[in-house]
Structure 1
Amino acid sequence: MKKTLSITNVVVLFVSILLLEIIFRNDIGITNLFGSYLLYTSCFAFILSSIMLLFGRVGRTIYSVLILVFIGGLFAAQSLHYDFFETFFSISKISIIQEFFQVSGETTHKMSLSLLIYFIPALVCLIIGLIKPLNEKISFKVRSILCSILLVIGVMGLLFIPQGYKDNKIMSKSNKLLYETLYNSEKAVDKLGFYAYTIKDVQLYLDKDNSSDENNKLIVDMYMQDNGYKASTNEYTNMFEGKNLILILCESLSPIAINEDLTPTLYKLQREGINFSNHYAPVFQTATSDSEYISLTGLLPSILDGPISYDFADNSFPMALPWKFRDLGYSANSFHSFKKSFYNREQLHYTYGFTYLYDWEDLNFYKKPEFVEAMNWVADKDLMSSVVKISIDLEQEPFFDFVISVSGHIPYIRGRYELENDLWETIKIYGEVGETYSEEALCYLGAQRTLESGIEELINDLEKEGLLEDTVIALYGDHYPYGLTKEASKELFGENIGNDIYKTPFIIWTPGIEHKEVTDITSTFDIYPTLANLFGLDINGQMIIGRDALSGSEGLVIFQDYSWKTNDGYYDATKQVFSTSNLNEDDIEEINDKVFNLIMVGQNIIREDYFRN
């Protein structure tokens, strides 16, 4: 007993490292709890636990507790991140970590006591360390030999196990490619294990080479020769040539928030304008910022490297909508009622070609005494009113205004005084808390009611100034409301919404337009080429991921984990399962290869700053 007790915390550390991964996999819903990944995990556990043998009793206790607190923190953080985005954090995203903590309650409101389970092993090791054995029976010499043996086993395993990952000419079935690139973090954790994913992620970050690679440029050249965008004319070509455009990115706007009672103006635009009723907004590294990038450039954002907003903000994007509209004599400005430093928007928007980004300081949105930054937001009504006023003051027509709404952002709480009027109207429709919805769900709907007030204000102001007839309003949701808790999401969307959670509105409206309902699948990638066709922008030869959604051509939604969706169904790249039987295996692999190639080319474009020259 004495001999055993003196190294019990060594055994507990080894077992805890294995057990924590099994708990984590169960927590996030991975059904493969016991698999080949445990071999890599065991080698990792051998290394950490063997080092403990070199310490005395107190040293082992301190070491094991610190190791388990650190590892437990990693698991808890990744579990929280997965709860938000259904993907895992990568060290390449470290440049945007500050944004994650700036919004009040963005992280804390999803924390739960269940996360404490990841710290129980550390507590067990501490308790064991406090139980003092009568004497130390295992000599340092023996412990050193045992340490060396375990270290060799562990290190050799970490070096050679990845060599056994199988390759396959079909990229989506290659575990070797998965390990070398970690292109699908969820699939990597499932197939290879959390520790393999984490260690490889750090290695990729440290080995990152920022120098230019002519081979990458050649790959893009060759791809664009055969796949450069070729516009086709249709009845909508040049339909809005010479008209003003106000493009509105609507924070967390979901189709469930558009109805005749809650949002009558949005409902009117949907019923009168061009309504894309099967529209998806895939979420990438920076959600809103990436949706801006996709809709303004038609390109894939960074998936395998750091975020566009920081790591590639110096890149050149001469094909972006602002530059294209300016080439036609338009003014191009952007508007946001938060600080322009958030997501590095000031630099990024000038890269896109906007003449100026008006933020909350430029728009004189002075804080009220009770204002709490990143909890209370400037109401979209005030933002929209400022957009029209500045557009008139600039005395330049036609104009292209890009507006980033903010009222729909979390937190969804009654403490947001700017929601007061619209929340009251929401309660009159759905009843008080508990009658139909919880407080959180009601506040989400109330926040979208505040967007509704802003759109109504925008249309009224345009009409007063005589600009409405010559102005097109296009609006779209940037992403699904990932800020909602699981309970509130179930209230609003139901239990089995699946990938349809990514559905967001996309509407194009101007007075007198003939209504059209587009039921074919569309996504944020289609916004750029669709607007280009409507306004007569020349984008031929460009690298465009989407297509003109009014052309009748086949749509394709690409997700961050290499999953995809077409009119035929949804392919889950992590589980490698297609939701319907409309396509045979060869058809699925053909689209898989297309998605892999598009993402490879898209990443090379960003890495090489391809369009600068």
Structure 2
Amino acid sequence: MKKIISHKLSFFLLAVVLVWAKTYASYLVEFNLGVKGLTQQILLFINPFSFTIVLLGLGLFLKGRRSAVWIISINAVMTFVLYANIMFYRFFDDFLTFANLKQAGNLGNMSDGVFSIMAPHDIIYFLDLVILIALCVKRPQLKASQLKKRWAAAVVLAGILLFYINLSVAEKDRPELLTRTFDRNYIVKYLGPYNYTIYDGIQAAQTASQKAYASSDDLTSVVNFTNSHYAKPDKKYFGIAKGKNIIKIHLESFQTFLIDYKLHGKEVTPFLNKLAHGSHDMKYFDNFFHQTGQGKTADAELMMDNSVFGLPEGTAFVTKGQNTYQSLPAILNQKEGYTSAVLHGDYKSFWNRDQVYKQIGYDKFFDASSYDMSEENLVNLGLKDKPFFKESIPMLKSLKKPFYAHLMTLTHHYPFILDEKDATLEKGTTGDSTVDGYFQTARYLDESLEQFFKDLKKSGLYDDSVIVIYGDHNGISENHNRAMEEVLGKEITPYQNVMNQRVPLMIRIPGQKGGVNHTYGGEVDVMPTLLHLQGIDNKNYVNFGTDLFSKEHDETVPFRNGNYVTPKYTLIDTTVYDTKTGKEIKPNKETEKLKTQVSEQLDLSDQVLYKDLLRFHKLKDFTPVDPAKYFYGKEKGNE
């Protein structure tokens, strides 16, 4: 022990081993990296070493106490990087990016969720730091002559060499690892969280430079794709809802498996079940999938209102909040004179909404300041759904008709907390608090929605309104597969996990009968669908989705990580499944063609956002939104 305390090399080696140990432990305990085969197992075992050896090894060039201070300081930074990713992964099932850091302020509104995901065993991720500091305090001076500089250089070079060996083997196992980064899991699995952080920093810098060097020429391939991908409207539906109000209701974290699901012998969502079976003339799409990435709710909003995909990292609402958009609210306003509004029981700065809504062209934003935010009305992230819907009725009535209103619920959000007095259904019994609470908050949301429908009818708004109901993203991540296997009564394979990404989409069109529609689609398809219902052809707009009612609708549903699902095929990483049976099948020309199309679709959408390409798109019948014309305050309409 005395040698470890006094010798630089011993102290360095101990630090390296401790960092490796906690990092490898995090792989086994915290992250679901999908490791397959001996090669990936070996890479997972060795990948923490290269970065650790290089960065800590630089301390070997320093003399005495400075060497220990360097090693401990770098260890502290690496500890922060690792634990920040652990916390982020527990919450979002993804890894932290530099783009996410711009959104750190949102965590202040999510304190219940953040504290609930801390675990007693988290102490192990800080234990090495405590050990090193204790050793340094006990024997503050390290022998300056212990290591010659050429040996220090050899250690650092060995770390660099190890990285290149690691990368070479990884590239052989997963070609184009660093050039086609749709999924951060791959980077961490092959290279580790520390190398991933450096890689993400480089990517972030490159992204920032893209807009500066973009030109109108970059838009050509985008327009060519969206024109070729266009699906002309079905005459039966085109213009059938012209001039009708549109009330769009966001069901927070609501997954399709809840429809018709019974817990303790009781329907979890009896009202939504009725809607799904045609009540209130509701058309129900039972093969509708969320396509969100790290932005979750914000990504869903972006896709539903703009028919572009969310970013591969971070959220466009924050990082691209000043972009030019061809949004649904703006088009409805300019073509048909619609007033638009968002109604949400949280404060306007969350997810940068008070800024990005101005770019999208929402006339009014009724945020938390417009509602009664008394303590008894609050739970988890903000206003409970029942008072939210009740107080929203007079706000809807105040809007100039026709209007497009987007109502966002909150109660059914992770970690699925509900006051005992509001619970009308017992929790689940899986032993997983997240999954067990999920059913209670889903029932509360269902009851809230039923009352809202009754209030809509009393207000006189119901009969003359298109009503759209959708789930924004999954509420139960892969971290809860054990409990979900008990809930669904089946193994959660990679195929089943994709099937679990279904969220409901329901559309009520006045005068039209309801029923189940089995068409495959996703959130980018909603905007062109609603435009065509209004009799507005979306052909000239940059939309990456297609009309769900069109006979030419593309039933390929891309996911943010490059996977896809169609009625025939499901691609997960490099494995293809038969969508109907879930059985693994060999890739073929058709599946490879679909993979290429999805890759192009996502890439072009990313270019639109990263380069702000819509500022170059000139249309005769559309004027880009001027954000200076919008103000979300008490003085102008949010009284």
Instruction: Please report the TM-score for the alignment, with normalisation by the length of structure 2.
Output: 0.82
Q: Distance in 2 between matches of 1:246 and 1:9?
A: 64
Partner of 1:388: 393
- 2:472 equivalent to 1:478: yes
**8 Å CA contact retained: 2:4, 2:11:** no
Q: Distance in 2 between matches of 1:398 and 1:16?
A: 64
**CA positional deviation for 1:560:** 2.3
Partner of 2:600: 597
**8 Å CA contact retained: 1:220, 1:601:** no
**CA positional deviation for 1:604:** 1.2
- CA, structure 1 residues 447+485, in 2 after alignment: closer, same or farther (shift >3 Å)? farther
Q: Cα RMSD (Å) of the superposition?
A: 3.3
Partner of 1:548: 547
The 5 Å alignment of 1:42-61 reads 42-54=49-61, 59-61=66-68
1:79 maps to which of 86, 111, 117: 86
Partner of 2:367: 359
1:313 maps to which of 300, 312, 321: 321
**8 Å CA contact retained: 2:249, 2:470:** yes
- CA, structure 1 residues 45+311, in 2 after alignment: closer, same or farther (shift >3 Å)? closer
**Per-residue CA distance 1:427-483 (angstroms, 9 max, x = gap):** 3xxxxx576887654543232233223322322222223332211211001111148
Deviates more, 1:277-286 or 1:448-457: 448-457
Partner amino acid, structure 2, of 1:22: Y
**CA positional deviation for 1:572:** 1.9
SS of alignment partner, residue 277 of structure 1 = strand
Partner amino acid, structure 1, of 2:462: L
Partner amino acid, structure 2, of 1:51: L
**8 Å CA contact retained: 2:529, 2:548:** yes
Partner of 1:238: 239
**8 Å CA contact retained: 1:546, 1:555:** no
Partner of 2:563: 563
The 5 Å alignment of 1:129-278 reads 129=136, 140=145, 142-155=147-160, 173-178=175-180, 182-210=181-209, 212=211, 217-228=216-227, 229-259=230-260, 261-272=267-278, 273-278=282-287
**CA positional deviation for 1:4:** 6.3
Partner of 1:13: 15
**Per-residue CA distance 1:93-124 (angstroms, 9 max, x = gap):** 21112213421321221222333333333344
Q: Distance in 1 between matches of 2:178 and 2:382?
A: 46
Partner of 2:576: 578
**8 Å CA contact retained: 2:531, 2:538:** yes
**CA positional deviation for 1:410:** 3.2
Q: Distance in 2 between matches of 1:392 and 1:447?
A: 28
The percent identity for this pair of structures is: 20
**8 Å CA contact retained: 2:318, 2:351:** yes
Partner of 2:620: none
**8 Å CA contact retained: 1:468, 1:510:** no
- CA, structure 1 residues 434+340, in 2 after alignment: closer, same or farther (shift >3 Å)? closer
**8 Å CA contact retained: 1:20, 1:72:** no
**CA positional deviation for 1:166:** 5.1
- 2:295 equivalent to 1:290: no
Count, aligned residues = 588
**Per-residue CA distance 1:238-263 (angstroms, 9 max, x = gap):** 22222221011111112243348443
Deviates more, 1:329-338 or 1:545-554: 545-554
Partner of 2:441: 447
Partner of 1:302: 311
Q: Distance in 2 between matches of 1:108 and 1:223?
A: 43
Partner amino acid, structure 2, of 1:115: D
Q: Distance in 2 between matches of 1:537 and 1:446?
A: 41
**8 Å CA contact retained: 1:269, 1:509:** no
**Per-residue CA distance 1:368-401 (angstroms, 9 max, x = gap):** 3x566x626323233223333223233x322211
**CA positional deviation for 1:287:** 0.6
Partner of 2:117: 110
- CA, structure 1 residues 377+453, in 2 after alignment: closer, same or farther (shift >3 Å)? farther
**CA positional deviation for 1:549:** 1.8
**8 Å CA contact retained: 1:216, 1:604:** no
The 5 Å alignment of 1:20-99 reads 20-27=22-29, 28-30=31-33, 31=35, 34-35=41-42, 41-54=48-61, 59-99=66-106
**8 Å CA contact retained: 1:87, 1:186:** yes
Partner amino acid, structure 2, of 1:470: D
Deviates more, 1:465-474 or 1:229-238: 229-238
SS of alignment partner, residue 361 of structure 1 = helix
Partner of 1:430: none
- CA, structure 1 residues 37+598, in 2 after alignment: closer, same or farther (shift >3 Å)? same
Q: Distance in 2 between matches of 1:371 and 1:381?
A: 9
Q: Distance in 1 between matches of 2:596 and 2:298?
A: 27
Partner amino acid, structure 1, of 2:549: L
**8 Å CA contact retained: 1:379, 1:454:** no
Q: Distance in 1 between matches of 2:604 and 2:391?
A: 40
Structure 2: give runs of 5+ residues left out of the alignment.
261-265, 579-583, 617-639
Q: Distance in 2 between matches of 1:73 and 1:328?
A: 52
SS of alignment partner, residue 278 of structure 1 = strand
2:410 maps to which of 383, 406, 410: 406
**CA positional deviation for 1:161:** 7.5
Deviates more, 1:602-611 or 1:258-267: 258-267
- 2:535 equivalent to 1:536: yes
Q: Distance in 2 between matches of 1:119 and 1:71?
A: 10
**8 Å CA contact retained: 1:106, 1:410:** yes
Q: Distance in 2 between matches of 1:442 and 1:149?
A: 54
Deviates more, 1:222-231 or 1:501-510: 222-231
**CA positional deviation for 1:219:** 3.9
**CA positional deviation for 1:578:** 1.9
Q: Distance in 1 between matches of 2:509 and 2:206?
A: 51
SS of alignment partner, residue 86 of structure 2 = helix
**8 Å CA contact retained: 2:295, 2:310:** no
Partner amino acid, structure 2, of 1:297: N
**CA positional deviation for 1:339:** 0.9
**CA positional deviation for 1:297:** 0.9
Deviates more, 1:12-21 or 1:489-498: 489-498
Q: Distance in 2 between matches of 1:608 and 1:517?
A: 40
- 2:376 equivalent to 1:377: no
Deviates more, 1:584-593 or 1:46-55: 46-55
Q: Distance in 1 between matches of 2:49 and 2:605?
A: 37
SS of alignment partner, residue 545 of structure 1 = coil
**8 Å CA contact retained: 1:68, 1:119:** no
SS of alignment partner, residue 546 of structure 1 = coil
Deviates more, 1:140-149 or 1:561-570: 140-149
SS of alignment partner, residue 89 of structure 1 = coil
- CA, structure 1 residues 332+206, in 2 after alignment: closer, same or farther (shift >3 Å)? closer
Partner amino acid, structure 1, of 2:249: I
Partner amino acid, structure 2, of 1:359: D
Structure 1: give runs of 5+ residues left out of the alignment.
428-432
Q: Distance in 2 between matches of 1:453 and 1:521?
A: 28
**8 Å CA contact retained: 1:6, 1:57:** no
Q: Distance in 1 between matches of 2:563 and 2:134?
A: 45
**8 Å CA contact retained: 1:281, 1:503:** yes
- CA, structure 1 residues 550+42, in 2 after alignment: closer, same or farther (shift >3 Å)? same
SS of alignment partner, residue 249 of structure 1 = strand
Partner amino acid, structure 2, of 1:288: T
Partner amino acid, structure 1, of 2:352: N
**8 Å CA contact retained: 1:289, 1:309:** yes
**8 Å CA contact retained: 2:64, 2:144:** no
Partner of 2:335: 327
**8 Å CA contact retained: 1:251, 1:478:** yes
SS of alignment partner, residue 268 of structure 1 = helix
- CA, structure 1 residues 97+387, in 2 after alignment: closer, same or farther (shift >3 Å)? same
**8 Å CA contact retained: 1:22, 1:33:** no
Q: Distance in 2 between matches of 1:159 and 1:217?
A: 39
- CA, structure 1 residues 60+413, in 2 after alignment: closer, same or farther (shift >3 Å)? same
**Per-residue CA distance 1:386-427 (angstroms, 9 max, x = gap):** 333223233x3222111111121234234x3xx623x1x223
**CA positional deviation for 1:230:** 4.0
SS of alignment partner, residue 339 of structure 1 = coil
